[in-house]
Chains A and B, each alone.
Chain A
Amino acid sequence: MEHGVATFAQGLISPAMIAAWTLVAVALFALAILMYVAIRSRTRRLDLEKAVQAFRSLDIDAFRNLVDSAEDAFLRDNLPPKKFREIKRQRAWAALIYVWEAGKAATALAAIGQALKRHSDPKIAASGVPLSENAWRLRLQTIGASLHLLTEILLPDLESRSLPPLVDQYERASETLVRLGRFSSAERHSCNP
């Protein structure tokens, strides 16, 4: 009896069985994600205001400071190594949150651009194509920036290069959004008596 149980247990924890059950777990995980995506795609709504707000909430000066290599060099020279690593990690983490939010806003923008392609006004519809295309590019660029910042979090002692193009991207995007926000609110005011 004992021998039988031992053989059964041995069979269950053999490498082949571990591989089989791992694949079953992977398949169940994939199924769960598929269900989630299917349900979310039915309830997802485009929200221009939300996208605008997300971009506007980005404080570009604060972000510029967070990724400034001169600031990093100053901190490195004036702080004990342990304290420097701690602060560097915190700064990189904060910058990563900025990049993450910008990426999310770019995704919303791309979705809006795609919806515009189906607009009844041909001019607006035509503008939707390059709009979404540019938003996709921006989204993909945020991946590179995120990886860069993650490296800084993991290896804070590495000399880091700054992220000037991304800083400029933020600045220009937020300026655009401020203008867009003004335009939208002006339009609303003119519509509301």
Chain B
Amino acid sequence: MNWHKVLFLFLWISPHVLLGVFVVVLCKRRLYREFPCFLAYVLYEIAEFILLFTLYLFALHSVAGVTANTYAYAWSATLTFNIALRFGVIDEVCKDLFRDSQFLKLAARRSLLCVTGLLLGVGVLLAVYAPGGNSVRWFAGVLAINRGAAMVQSGLLLSLLLFSRFLGLSWRRSAFGIALGLGVLTSVYLANYALRAEFTSKAGADFLNLLTTGTYLACVSIWTGYLLTPEPEPVSLAVVSHDEVETWNTELQHLLRD
């Protein structure tokens, strides 16, 4: 077994083992009540890995008539639900971020819908005008869909992070970790699928596989790190008295009434 294969297997297996530990922590901290879709996503990722890894081993040793094509079909089929779950996780993170304000929830939903529409438009245009140079038509289609989905998801998460900074919103550590990890993952997916659609050589595909699996390991580490770190202590603002806050409120309400 060459070093490339060992590295590839390590990067493929280790994040899923870590995800198993992550699920235990998620359940112990009862975070599944706040992020049920994220838990479903993580469980789905583990199940998907078990299925694909089994098919990979079968294809490698030509067991039960499994071929590389079977693996490719299975990978494409599982991907659709994976993309849907990632959208669900983004929705959950969004709800958590705007949990305190109905007004912001509405404003953010509208803005994010606009961003989604814009990104979808760009994704569709790219799929039509730059469908990729892969000779296998259905595979080129899968890559184009993935590329579009990664672009929308990465754009949404980036908008969410920038929106929160712009408005001075405070994230809970767990939600921020989920958003950050998923943001990194979808950004790398975007670059990966964009290049894969054009570069069809085996060496290029192998390198991109390593890059993606390595990034996935980094993202699972980000999720685990943020989940294991306790929430920071509330900032001490002893200098602000109740009267002060009330004055701010009254004055700002006056401003907004005008």
Contact = CB atoms under 8 A, between A and B. Distances in A.
Q: Do A and B interact? A: yes
Interface of A: 15-17, 19-21, 23-24, 26-28, 30-31, 33-34, 37-38, 40-41, 45-46, 48, 106-121, 123-124, 127-141, 164-165, 168-169, 172-173, 175-176, 179-180, 183-184, 187
A23 B131 CA distance: 13
Interface of B: 100-101, 103-104, 107, 126, 129-133, 147, 151, 154-155, 157-158, 161-162, 165-171, 176, 180, 183-184, 187-188, 190-191, 194-195, 197-198, 234-235, 237, 239-249, 251-256, 258
B130 A111 contact: no
Given A107-B168, A114-B169, A139-B166, A165 B245 contact: no
Given A31-B188, A136-B101, A23 B194 contact: yes
19 contacts: A37-B162, A45-B235, A46-B237, A48-B237, A48-B239, A110-B168, A115-B235, A116-B240, A118-B234, A119-B234, A127-B245, A132-B168, A133-B104, A136-B101, A138-B256, A140-B107, A168-B258, A172-B251, A173-B255
Contacts of B249: 127, 130-131, 134
A114 B170 contact: yes
A136 B247 contact: no
Most chain B CB within 10 A, of A16, A27, A41, A121, is at: A27
A164 B257 CA distance: 12
Contacts of B104: 133, 136
B167 A137 contact: no
A34 B147 contact: no
Contact of A48 (B126, B129, B183, B240): B240
A192 to B, nearest CB: 13
B2 to A, nearest CB: 28
